[in-house]
């Protein structure tokens, strides 16, 4: 059956007639939880190279602005809030050579999870969950610069505003979102949202923050200025990862239980359409040119590439337990 799935995937790539996937080739990076690898996928040819992590599972990945370096925190072997191993390292991978070239050691178990590169400050932020902080790393020396308290446990995911002023963490079991001042390194607010939340993203104008209620099929829309929930969007299934399109008109949202992706119209907060994808879609990354949304599909060793001009789906092979995504532009 797995052999047949792979053949079907290859056929879908060969038969694909749209131009969007080839118009802006680069490298799609996929953190694969189950086989402990990082997939480097050439999006022009769909060729995959898998880099062994040689550690316990990493869930997320970020790239440097020049696309030459990838950062993979080694979280552990359990889900957030569950007992298991506690990672304390982050791997540094050279993208062109596909080799691990360094590590960041946090000094003690912290379950490092979501890395985000702040190009303005040349700082790499990483959620350090067991310390209830976000840790800032110097990407040149790979040393810890400082930490920012989140004021909550299980600060699992992080997004930073496009003006680089604020960071937002999704705090899973507390069901809240922390607001961090990236200049003063302080926690300025903790916004109550629901009993349980997952994933986080920000609108292109930095006015809205989105997080999914993981106990109910609805999406919270947070007013960033007022620091409170502005409205709720009812969903056909529980939501997960999301990302806005570069034109600011839509939000692409994964619906894991339904094996679908919802396209939300941000003008009126309604669902414009849903798109079928393989089982358990996780994270969403919209390519910088705004033409393709990549959605990792955790149970199918695949990434769904959605052409945003005509909503057609092409499947790219990744690894087992595909999760975190990052993009490296072609050089």
| Pairwise CA distance, residues 285 & 240, whole Å | 13
Q: How far apart are the first and last CA of the chain?
A: 37
**Residue 172: helix, strand or coil by DSSP?**
coil
Domain that holds residue 34: 2-329
Which residues contact residue 277 at a Cβ distance below 8 angstroms, ignoring those fewer than 6 apart? Answer: 254, 259, 260, 261, 295, 297, 304, 306, 313
- Residue 111: give its domain's CATH number: 2.130.10.10
Contact 328, 26 (CB under 8 A): yes
Q: From first to last of its 331 residues, what are the pLDDT tens digits of the chain?
A: 333 333 233 333 333 434 455 555 799 999 998 888 899 999 888 888 877 755 546 899 999 999 999 999 999 888 898 999 999 999 999 999 988 999 999 999 999 999 999 999 999 999 999 999 999 999 999 999 999 999 999 999 999 999 999 999 999 999 999 999 999 999 999 999 999 999 999 999 999 999 999 999 999 999 999 999 999 999 999 999 999 999 999 999 999 999 999 999 999 999 999 999 999 999 999 999 999 999 999 999 999 999 999 999 999 999 999 999 999 986 5
Provide the domain count of the chain: 1
By three-state DSSP, how is residue 13 classified?
helix
Euclidean distance between CA atoms 266 and 124, whole angstroms:
30
Query: Dihedral of the CA atoms 81, 73, 324, 269 (nearest 10)?
Result: 60
The first and second tokens of residue 126, run together, are 């990483």
């Amino acid at each position: 059956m797995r052999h047949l799935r792979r053949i079907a995937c290859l056929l879908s790539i060969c038969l694909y007639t749209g131009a969007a996937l080839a118009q802006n080739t680069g490298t799609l990076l996929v953190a694969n939880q189950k086989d402990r690898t990082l997939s480097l996928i050439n999006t022009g040819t769909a060729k995959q190279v898998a880099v062994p992590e040689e550690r316990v599972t990493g869930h997320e990945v970020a790239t440097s602005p020049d696309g030459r370096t990838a950062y993979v925190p080694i979280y552990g072997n359990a889900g957030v809030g569950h007992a298991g191993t506690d990672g304390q390292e982050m791997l540094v991978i050279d993208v062109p050579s596909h080799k691990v070239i360094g590590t960041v050691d946090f000094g003690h178990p912290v379950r490092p999870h979501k890395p985000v590169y702040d190009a303005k400050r040349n700082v790499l932020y990483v959620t350090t969950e067991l310390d209830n902080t976000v840790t800032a790393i110097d990407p040149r020396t790979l040393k810890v610069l400082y930490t920012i308290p989140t004021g909550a446990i299980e600060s699992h995911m992080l997004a930073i505003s496009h003006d680089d002023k604020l960071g937002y963490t999704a705090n899973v079991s507390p069901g809240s979102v922390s607001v961090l001042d990236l200049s003063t390194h302080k926690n300025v607010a903790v916004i109550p949202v629901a009993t349980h939340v997952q994933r986080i993203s920000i609108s292109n104008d930095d006015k809205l923050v989105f997080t999914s209620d993981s106990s109910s099929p609805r999406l919270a829309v947070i007013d960033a200025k007022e620091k409170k929930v502005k409205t709720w969007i009812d969903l056909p299934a529980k939501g997960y990862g999301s990302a806005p399109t570069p034109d600011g008109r839509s939000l692409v949202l994964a619906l894991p239980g339904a094996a679908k992706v919802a396209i939300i119209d941000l003008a009126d907060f309604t669902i414009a359409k849903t798109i079928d994808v393989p089982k358990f879609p996780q994270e969403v990354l919209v390519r910088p040119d705004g033409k393709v949304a990549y959605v990792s599909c955790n149970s199918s060793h695949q990434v769904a590439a959605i052409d945003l001009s005509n909503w057609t789906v092409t499947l790219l092979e990744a690894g087992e337990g595909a999760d975190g995504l990052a993009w490296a532009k072609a050089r």
